[in-house]
Amino acid sequence: MHASHDHGPTPRRFLPAGPLRGRIRVPGDKSISHRSIMLGALAVGETKVTGLLEGEDVLATAAAMRAMGATVERQGDGSWSIHGTGVGSLLQPVTALEMGNSGTSTRLLMGLVASHPITATFTGDASLSHRPMGRVIEPLSQMGADITASPGGTLPLMLRGLSPAVPITYRLPVASAQVKSAVLLAGLNTAGITTVVEPVPTRDHSERMLRGFGADLWVEEEGGIRTIRLRGEAELRPQTIIVPGDPSSAAFFAVAALLVPGSDLVIENVGLNPTRAALFTVLRQMGGSIVELHPREVGGEPVADLHVRHSPLTGVAVDPALAPAMIDEFPILFVAAALAKGRTVTTGLEELRVKESDRLATMAAALTAAGARVTEQEDGLTIDGTGGDPLSGGAYPVATKLDHRIAMSMAVAGLVSQGGVEVDDTAPIATSFPTFQHLLDSATGNR
Ligand SMILES: O=C(O)C1=C[C@@H](OP(=O)(O)O)[C@@H](O)[C@H](O)C1
Ligand SMILES: C=C(OP(=O)(O)O)C(=O)O
């Protein structure tokens, strides 16, 4: 696995191109794909998943669940079939669980292992090995897991689970769906009620899917604070899951179509869970024409086709309260801001510094190199846009730091530049969106 990363970087210069026209479909949602494999792997019987994202991050989750006893197979028709072990019956993996570039795999699987009587070692690539795991080590240790991490609470780490584990009430100190999910997943094999208090709502795919698999989970909301309770020793029932298209992947095409003159694009089947869809709200505030066609429900999640047309954009001050619902979309929002008229101000984005790269520093450097006017603050970027004129582009490759979202964002910046933008390494794109370059080439007519 991760073969593309073992053969050195794969640079590419993204040249001015477009317009984007026609209809496209982006791959399945990454968050929902991870969770469908994990919960399927805990349900006795066959779970069927269609539309699964076949990106490296999700494949790392699939390999880990196999290593712990589940059967996870791709069928001839492209659907996935999972036969689970049952909650409480995960097996001790024989070798280290290789998490590659994936924070979601690591943190959620640490939760699962924490309440099983097994020991697992978690390893990751250079990017993941810098990311903070203390945020999950803390609550999982309270539940009884014994965790030995590398200095700074990083990978590689070894986790010895405890069964029976101790049910806890945990108030999230950071707005993180991964921490919330780690505690809830640990709660599945824990007698009693595990409670997570969420002062700021984050993506709720775990809650929706746990309920769908038959777990006893309920949510109270008071004054914007969500309290999620899960009754442990759950018996999960296998499900048929249809994974909607990933709004975080659609985001690159939505922004590209808004920015490239003459574009008129329909992105089909985009998941629009309100805990995920704030980028589209902000782009509309900036003047973007994004219309939701045929709103419907797919697999318990709201979905629509997005009709996006080229629009002149105006800078805005982005409400920091929206950040959790667009947390992975800031790199591409910064590209939109760089082409907008006037100033865009973002704040409250400290979390971006601990993603696959420090996304504030990496985007400030990359956009500046491409000719944009960017100022970096501790908790956000301020960007003075061109008013629609193309960026100059740059002669030298921009550093993407093993971060797929930086690579895709700067690819879109290349489309709206004079000289193109060279991305130093496109290989990480395969972690979340393996068909990105093919789709971009076909939507821009560069077949
Ligand atoms: O739960 C999830 O599936 C995710 C949660 C977010 O991370 P945090 O929980 O660290 O905010 C997000 O950035 C990540 O891409 C996926
Ligand atoms: C932050 C991301 O993913 P993860 O935390 O799973 O590595 C992302 O996909 O932008």
pLDDT band of residue 71 (cuts 50, 70, 90) is very high
Q: Is residue 114 scored above 50 in pLDDT? A: yes
Q: How far apart are CA 79 and CA 208, in angstroms?
A: 21
For residue 5, the model assigns a pLDDT of 53
CA of 405 to the centre of ligand 2 (A): 9
Domains of the chain: 3-28+244-443 (3.65.10.10), 30-242 (3.65.10.10)
Q: With left for phi above 0 and alpha for psi between -120 and 50, is residue 144 left, alpha or beta?
A: left
Strand pairing partners for 307?
Answer: 266, 291
**Shortest-distance Cα residue to atom 15 of ligand 1:** 328
CA of 355 to the centre of ligand 1 (A): 9
Please calculate the CA angle 260-427-124 and round it to the nearest 5 degrees. Answer: 130
Q: What is the mean pLDDT of residues 383-392?
A: 98
Q: What is the mean pLDDT of residues 407-426?
A: 98
What pTM does this model have? 0.98
Residue with tokens 């395969």: 430
Indicate which atom in ligand 2 lies nearest the CA of residue 101.
7
Dihedral (CA of 436, 440, 443, 445) sign: negative
pLDDT tens per residue across span 253-272: 999 999 999 999 999 999 99
CA of 204 to the centre of ligand 1 (A): 11
CA torsion 191-193-198-199 (nearest 10°) is: -130
Residue type, 25: R
Q: Is residue 345 scored above 80 in pLDDT? A: yes
Query: Cα 396 to chain center, whole Å?
Result: 28
Q: What percent of the chain stands above pLDDT 70? A: 98
The residue that leads in pLDDT, 436 or 446, is 436
104 touches ligand 2 (CB under 6 Å): yes
For residue 1, the model assigns a pLDDT of 40
Give 28's DSSP letter. Answer: B
Check if the beta carbon of residue 194 is closer than 8 Å to that of residue 160. Answer: no
* Alpha helical stretches, state H, 143-204: 177-188
CA of 102 to the centre of ligand 2 (A): 6
249 touches ligand 2 (CB under 6 Å): no
Check if the beta carbon of residue 139 is closer than 8 Å to that of residue 165. Answer: no
Give 175's DSSP letter. Answer: -
* Predicted ipTM of the assembly: 0.99
Q: Is residue 349 scored above 90 in pLDDT? A: yes
Q: Is 401 annotated as contributing to ligand binding?
A: no
For residue 8, the model assigns a pLDDT of 85
Nearest-ligand number for the alpha carbon of 406: 2
Q: Is residue 91 scored above 80 in pLDDT? A: yes
Indicate which atom in ligand 2 lies nearest the CA of residue 106.
6
Q: Is residue 4 scored above 60 in pLDDT? A: no
| Cβ atoms within 10 Å of 442's Cβ, excluding its own | 14
Q: What is the mean pLDDT of residues 208-225?
A: 97
Q: Is 359 annotated as contributing to ligand binding?
A: yes
Indicate which atom in ligand 2 lies nearest the CA of residue 102.
7
Q: Is residue 300 scored above 90 in pLDDT? A: no
Q: Is residue 159 scored above 80 in pLDDT? A: yes
